[in-house]
Amino acid sequence: AAAAAAPPKKRGGGGWFGGWFGGGGGREKVNTSKITMEEFQWAYAAFWSRALSLPIGPDPIAPTVEGIVPGIDFANHSGRSPAARWAVAGLGGPDPRVELLCEAGSVPAPGKEVFISYGDKPNEELLFTYGFVERDNPHDKLVLQPAWMQSKGDGGE
């Protein structure tokens, strides 16, 4: 997955998260100071560049919620040859889970990277949503706006 910029500078002992959550095995209080705009921007980018749209029930038209699934966010995107996909299993049962499944005939060799597809997305969407573009993206497109569609006062003449 795309890497968000490095987290903002640390807030005291125990690493960046330790500065917020104590870092002392539960012996310290949660940091209640306000977060900075830099911290918010980092967290926002880190979340949205990795979030999956997960169903909240077994009904295929059920609403979804965005969340980060540990492990799945390590798989990078390939629009050409994803070797795996993620799937939600066990909804409505006692063991709901997200699984990373290899596509038939595409099991990566030991030590090779596992790619999933984030969908048939053009580079513009990949850049603004995930922070990267794909070289020779088969789904890329260029949207042109003719001069007659530009509104007055937007800097275009």
Give the global pTM: 0.60
Which of 90-94, 115-119, 125-129 has the weakest average pLDDT?
A: 90-94
Average of per-residue pLDDT across 24-47? 79
- pLDDT recorded at residue 80: 85
> Residues 50, 85: contact at Cβ < 8 Å?
no
φ, ψ of residue 72 to 5 degrees: the values are -65, -35
Q: In degrees, to the nearest 5, what angle opens at C-alpha 105 toward C-alphas 52 and 114?
A: 40
